Amino acid sequence: MATAVEAPASITAEGPTSHTQNQPQPTIHQLMALVMRDVRDVGKNGFNDHQKYKFRGVDDFIGALAQPLRDHGVFMMTEILDWTPSVRGKMNAVHLRVAFHFYGPAGDKVTATTLGEASDTADKATNKAMSAALKYALMQTFMIPVDAGSLDDGDRDHPVAQTSPADAYMERLRKPTVWNNITALQAMHTEAKGDGLLNATVHGPDGQTTLGALLVARGTQLKGEAAAREERKAQEAPAVAAQVAAEHGAGPDFVDQLMAQVQRHWNDPMELTKDLAEAGRRNVVLQEVDGPHGGMVQFGAMVTTRIAELKEQARQAELNAHTPERSAA
């Protein structure tokens, strides 16, 4: 006569429970409820020496759940649903959507899906994002007790996502409109000084530095680049002017020829007007030349003034011709 053989006992908060071959396997939902009853609370056991704050890390949650999961025959498998990398200045960032499948002895499962986001200067961004996703999957799936207020501010207690006040400045500083703008850098320096953050440690393009030193260094670099551009322009100006003159046929010889024409036409306003139009076509209206009374004057101003003088002389002559008293005198 066959006899029933007892299955291994499982431990619950109420003590061991036994199952026989004639009893169905408990569902994953039943087992997860038992895990929730057995799990202990998690406190802030970690401490960040650099930024001086306490935190509860993913290791704390794994430690709290490891034994209850083993006791009730529940195990977990991870599935990456989405992986999106990006670059934030000098940081490598990763966004993940992760599914965590919890299986029971009967083969049925429950799935928890969470998001993870992290950044790193090297190759650890994905690792950090997975840790963040796992931490909240475990905490929210099994409703692990934490102290009051821990969930009021998103991921503030997670060492991966913890930020310093200077991080907000760095986010703004990575924008090209700020990074390449001396005025914006000066305004940010004044603002950071008011906030007392000039000595805050940040990661710049050349490694770790302070926020104030990074702002000053970048501003100095931009000023140096601007000065170098102005110096190059000054050095290249004669060559550029010569090239423009050559392209428009307005070299020194042409200006001399035009001045000779003006001297011949000095008393003829119509011819001077033609000379002025020719100077406009050759782009030498603003060219400085020897003035009739000494000193340098602009060609266009000199010719325009002479034309006005000749027109005034003609008008006065016409007035004199039509005034009898002045004619008799």
Q: What is the pTM of this model?
A: 0.41
**Token reading at 186:** 């000066």
Residue 326 has pLDDT above 60, yes or no: no
Poorest-confidence range of 15-19, 177-181, 316-320? 15-19
Read off the amino acid at residue 328: A
Contacts 24+ apart (CB under 8 A), 83-86: 83/126, 85/125, 85/126
CATH 3.30.390 for the 24-141 domain, yes or no: yes
At residue 90, the pLDDT reads 72
At residue 57, the pLDDT reads 79
**Token reading at 84:** 């999106």
Poorest-confidence range of 115-119, 195-199, 322-326? 322-326
CB contact at 8 A, 119 and 41: no
At residue 147, the pLDDT reads 61
CA distances from 46 to 53, 55, 133, 152, 154 (A): 8, 5, 18, 19, 18
Residue 104 has pLDDT above 90, yes or no: yes
At residue 76, the pLDDT reads 95
Of 62-76, 81-95, 158-172, give the range with the top mean pLDDT: 62-76
| DSSP state letter for 6 | B
Mean pLDDT, residues 266-279: 90
At 78, is the secondary structure helix, strand, or coil?
A: strand
CB contact at 8 A, 155 and 132: yes
What does the longest C-alpha to C-alpha distance in the chain come to? 163
CA distances from 92 to 96, 117, 223 (A): 13, 11, 29
Residue 99 has pLDDT above 90, yes or no: yes
Mean pLDDT, residues 191-206: 86
Residue 48 has pLDDT above 90, yes or no: no
Confidence at 110, pLDDT banded by 50, 70, 90: very high
Read off the amino acid at residue 238: P
At residue 241, the pLDDT reads 60
CB contact at 8 A, 317 and 326: no
At residue 214, the pLDDT reads 92
CA atoms within 13 A on the CB side of 206: 8
**Token reading at 244:** 């423009």
At residue 8, the pLDDT reads 47
At residue 31, the pLDDT reads 94
- Nearest of 59, 81, 84 to residue 138 by alpha carbon: 59
Separation between Cα atoms, residue 179 and residue 310, nearest integer Å:
59
**Could you identify the residue written with the tokens 């000494």?**
294
Poorest-confidence range of 46-55, 108-117, 175-184, 307-316? 46-55
